[in-house]
Structure 1
Amino acid sequence: MTLLELEDVTASYGSVQVLDGVSLSVPDGGAVGILGANGAGKTTTLRAISGSVRTTGRIMFDGRNIRSLRPEQVAKLGIAHVPEGRGTLGQLTVRENLRVGAYLRKDRKGVASDVDYLLDLFPQLRNRISSSASALSGGEQQMLAVCRAVMAKPRLLVLDEASLGLAPSTAKTVYQAIQRLRTDAGIAMLIVEQNANLAFTVVDSATVLETGRNVLTGSSAELRGMDEIRRAYLGA
């Protein structure tokens, strides 16, 4: 079953068009990557899904056209967006950030259980549970941003450059946890990532964008085997 589908989506900032007919789909419970150079339209694609940029075309989520919805309406439908730059609430503690993520939920026991699960998944955060988010390292802030999004119990997790600015070992830890989240919770994922090696540890397939258009789509195995993908994104 297809959970998310974009068909011929365009997006603009004022008079500047950034996306020019992007199409992609994410299966329910599946994981799809978006690859591309800086300026290719990867982040704008995620913003189009979340309702934070002007678009045309068709954006369907669970059989519903969401293209005209506001970001808060999109979030209520079950799409959680972890933006580039993390976006944690620096003045709040780790625990308070997690509670903010669950603010629409009414199941207190479930919220408490999910907090424990996520702190087990990211033990660094358990040790910093009472610290303000602004006092965390970059890696810890990225972990917290992912956890806060998961606290909303989304059906689709949208991740924008989760490894950006992180040491390689920290980025690997973050992606190992993301993979476990997918396995444990069955959350569908759409992942924008410059480090294709990390993305391919999670996604089943990916699409490559150039200047706002799809130029290549395939399974992870197919893309790994292409010389142009290895040279451009895999450091080979």
Structure 2
Amino acid sequence: MSFLELEDVTASYGHVPVLHGMSLSLPENGAIGILGANGAGKTTTLRAISGMVKTTGRIMFDGKNIAGLGPYRTAKLGIAHIPEGRGTLPQLSVRENLLVGAYQRRDRKAVATDIDYCLDLFPNLEARIKASAAALSGGEQQMLAVARAFMAKPRLMLLDETSLGLAPTTGRLVYDAIIRLRRESRLSMIVVEQNAVLAFSVVDEAIVLETGRAVLTGSKAELMGMDAVRRAYLGG
């Protein structure tokens, strides 16, 4: 049985359909990338999983149908959604943001250990630990968003356009940390990303969406070997 499985999922905003029969299967500790142009339905797929949009079809997470549960209940089940646009709490300090991420946890010693781990993962944050999130650079805010999501000890992490708006070197730094996080924490991940090179550095397989439909699915190696995918997403 797959850890996460979407079966014939549709999603809409009001009366406007966005996803049309989306299906995917993610094994535990696996990582899938979702590629596509703006408006293809990438972000909506993540919102469907975390319960932020109205859906039909089945969304199975660890054997439980979570379709329609809503963001709070899916988060309690172990799904961390890092939305496009960072999603930090600007008025709070870096440390306070990390503690907010762990607000449902009662293991105080483990929380302190995980804060230290996050600061090792993102050394920039250690130097800014007392600064407000609003005072951070865009790259540092994205680092904080990933670290705060990790503090909830999720089983599945949904990453939406993590490199958007970042300088190439900063985007690479963030993704290097995500690669390490996946390797060391055994997290399952779904990565939505315009920069396919960065996405492919993390994932095992990928899906290409066009107008709310999956048009290509395959392993990283298979998709990277396709001329159409290289031209559209890899600059080849």
Output the TM-score relative to the length of structure 2: 0.99
Match of 1:128 in 2: 128
- Structure-1 residue corresponding to 2:207: 207
**What is the identity, as a one-letter code, of the residue corresponding to 1:49?**
I
Instruction: Give runs of aligned pairs for residues 111-122 of structure 1, distance below 5 A.
Output: 111-122=111-122
- Give 5+ residue unaligned stretches, structure 2: none
2:6 maps to a residue whose letter is L
- Secondary structure of 1:2 counterpart: coil
Distance 1:25 1:125 in 2: 34
Q: Give 1:130 shift.
A: 0.3
Runs of 4+ in structure 1 displaced over 2 angstroms? none
Q: CA deviation at 1:41?
A: 0.2
**Residue 159 of structure 1 aligns to a residue in which SS?**
strand
Shift of 1:206: 0.3
Within a 5 Å distance, the mapping from 1:29-40 to structure 2 comes to 29-40=29-40
Q: Which residue of 1 aligns with 2:103?
A: 103
Measured after TM superposition, the shift of residue 2 of structure 1 is 1.7
Any idea what the Cα deviations from partners look like across 1:148-192, whole Å, max 9, x if unmatched?
000000000000000000000000000000000000000000000
| AA partner of residue 14 (structure 1) | G
Distance in 1 (alpha carbons) for counterparts of 2:99 and 2:62 = 26
Alpha-carbon deviation of 1:3?
Answer: 1.1
Structure 1: distance between partners of 2:25 and 2:152: 22
CA distance in 2: counterparts of 1:98 and 1:80, whole angstroms: 14
d(CA) in 2 for partners of 1:217 and 1:70?
28
Q: Partner residue of 1:94?
A: 94
The number of aligned residues is 236
Instruction: Tell me the CA shift for residue 63 of structure 1.
Output: 0.3
Deviations 1:73-106 (A, max 9, x none): 0000000000000110000000000000000001
Per-residue CA distance 1:89-134 (angstroms, 9 max, x = gap): 0000000000000000010011000000110010000000000000
- Give 1:25 shift: 1.4
Q: Which amino acid aligns with 2:199?
A: A
What are the Cα deviations for residues 54-74 of structure 1, in whole angstroms up to 9, with x where unaligned?
Answer: 000000000000002011000
In structure 1, distance between residues paired with 2:223 and 2:70: 34
The DSSP-based 3-state class of the residue aligned with 1:90 is coil
Distance in 2 (alpha carbons) for counterparts of 1:3 and 1:85: 27
Cα distance, 1:204 vs structure 2: 0.2
Structure 2 CA distance for aligned equivalents of residues 2 and 172 of structure 1: 30
Alignment of 1:1-236 (within 5 A): 2-236=2-236
Q: RMSD over aligned Cα, in angstroms? A: 0.5
Q: CA deviation at 1:220?
A: 0.3
Structure 1 residue 26: Cα displacement: 1.2
Paired with 1:26 and 1:105, the residues of 2 have a C-alpha distance of 26
Cα distance in 1 for residues equivalent to 2:26 and 2:153: 17
